[in-house]
Amino acid sequence: MFSIFIDIIVMDEGCDDMSYKPPYTISSKMLDLVSNIMKQIGKLSNSYGLDNKPKLRRTNMINSIYSSLAIENNALSKDQVKDIVNGKLVIGPRRDIAEVQNAKKCYDSILNINPYSIEDLLAYHAIMLEGLVEDAGKFRTKQEGVFDGDTVIFIAPSADRVPEHISNLFEYLNQDSENILIKSCVFHYEFEFIHPFSDGNGRIGRLFQTCLLASKEEIFAYLPIESIIKERQQEYYESISKCNKVGNSNIFIEFMLDAILETINRTIDGSRQEISEISIQVKKLLKVMRINTPYTTIELMEALKLKSRASFKKNYLDPAIGLNLVNMTLPNTPNSRNQRYQKI
């Protein structure tokens, strides 16, 4: 009975004109949050832009991956996730390591994902769940729900309705002119409500909200919104549960907008700190390097017109590596004669 009731709620909205729009109402709180977010995004873009802050961008991606997977009970620490992202060997549960490796592929592609495309949804679910489930990249064929022990928290719509629900949701994405901040939150809630996959719904829903935001403002691709969700995980689930009961996504939209605003404010603080950490010597080193191009020590010293290897290592190279602005191509053998250095 519960599953049938859920299907009726979803399909009743917008059926008269065959143009589906999820149930929600714009509140004064939402408008205030949207206004503050836009103001802070402008400040972040103009004064603390992330285009020239590779360390912060890298750190934020690691935080996004770690937090989104931790919500799904991945047991790896943030340092382990960082090492995997940086290509280092990590000892841990094989599945947990694979989850991080798969997530990195997806987060590396955020600006290439079309979040308005069902085909891309399926394609990136296949990447996110590669080797983890048999039906990666395919909609579920069985009934799914969320349980707390033996207690039913939520029963998803029946599997045979998933393609129709997803089609309606993407119709809303592609046709409605709603502000992208609100639209992305609506998508996130509705996606979790539909629960279209047998596994990975949470991490894909969070990823695609980021992709929707980044499709309008690229800087969103570098904001670890998942970190705030992880910190406020209980409130995250409670907001979804409350929305399920009242039949609209208002509470969840307000929660997510507040999480986005907090993420931006923390990123501004992090940008200020990074600016103060980078020395003149490190800035000079970064200036002569191209991203992901390997350099020998000699090549870098010649580019900087330096003669002392010890001085170069102490004042330029080691601080840049310590700030995760430069990495080694052979991190497990730092003194190898084949060692090269790359700007991240």
Instruction: Please check whether residues 331 and 235 belong to one and the same domain.
Output: no
Question: To which residue do tokens 């010649």 refer?
Answer: 302
- Name the amino acid, one letter, at 74: N
Report how far apart the first and last C-alpha atoms of the chain are (Å, whole number): 53
Last residue of a domain, one of 221, 248, 274: 274
Instruction: Please check whether residues 118 and 184 belong to one and the same domain.
Output: yes
CA distances from 299 to 157, 254, 296, 339 (A): 60, 52, 5, 12
Q: What is the 3-state secondary structure (H, E, C) of 144-185?
A: CEEEECCEEEEECCCHHHHHHHHHHHHHHHHHCCCCHHHHHH
pLDDT at 61: 92
pLDDT at 2: 30
Instruction: Please check whether residues 156 and 283 belong to one and the same domain.
Output: no
Q: What tokens does 270 get?
A: 């992090």
pLDDT at 1: 28
Q: How many CA atoms lie within 13 A of 187 on its CB side?
A: 30
pLDDT at 292: 77
- Containing 341, the helix (H) or strand (E) segment is strand 341-343
Instruction: Please check whether residues 68 and 181 belong to one and the same domain.
Output: yes
Instruction: Please check whether residues 15 and 117 belong to one and the same domain.
Output: yes
Instruction: Please check whether residues 28 and 61 belong to one and the same domain.
Output: yes
Residues 228 and 10: their CA atoms lie apart, in Å, by 28
Query: Looking at residue 48, which CATH number applies to its domain?
Result: 1.10.3290.10
Residues 303 and 341: their CA atoms lie apart, in Å, by 14
The total number of structural domains that make up the chain: 2
Instruction: Please check whether residues 165 and 74 belong to one and the same domain.
Output: yes
Helix runs in the chain, H state only: 2-12, 28-47, 54-71, 78-85, 94-108, 118-128, 162-175, 180-194, 201-214, 225-231, 233-246, 250-277, 280-287, 297-304, 309-312, 318-322
Last residue of a domain, one of 274, 298, 323: 274
Residues 60 and 151: their CA atoms lie apart, in Å, by 36
124: Cα separation from own chain's centroid: 13
CA distances from 210 to 23, 126, 203, 287 (A): 21, 18, 11, 30
Q: For the chain, which residues score pLDDT lower than 50?
A: 1-18
**Nearest-CA neighbor of 294 among 265, 330, 334, 258?**
330
Instruction: Please check whether residues 126 and 266 belong to one and the same domain.
Output: yes
pLDDT tens per residue across span 167-180 = 999 999 999 888 99
Instruction: Please check whether residues 192 and 79 belong to one and the same domain.
Output: yes
Instruction: Please check whether residues 318 and 212 belong to one and the same domain.
Output: no
| Pairing between β-strand 341-343 and β-strand 326-328 as defined by DSSP bridges | antiparallel
What residue numbers bound the domain in which 13 lies? 2-274
Residues 338 and 321: their CA atoms lie apart, in Å, by 17
Instruction: Please check whether residues 95 and 218 belong to one and the same domain.
Output: yes
Instruction: Please check whether residues 221 and 136 belong to one and the same domain.
Output: yes
Q: What tokens does 14 get?
A: 């917008």
Residues 82 and 59: their CA atoms lie apart, in Å, by 8
Letter string b/e over residues 142-160, b meaning 16 or more CB atoms within 10 A of that residue's CB: eebebeeeeeeebbbbebe
Last residue of a domain, one of 274, 305, 328: 274
pLDDT tens per residue across span 88-111 = 999 999 999 999 999 999 999 999
pLDDT at 31: 96
Predicted TM-score (pTM) of the model is 0.74
pLDDT at 11: 38
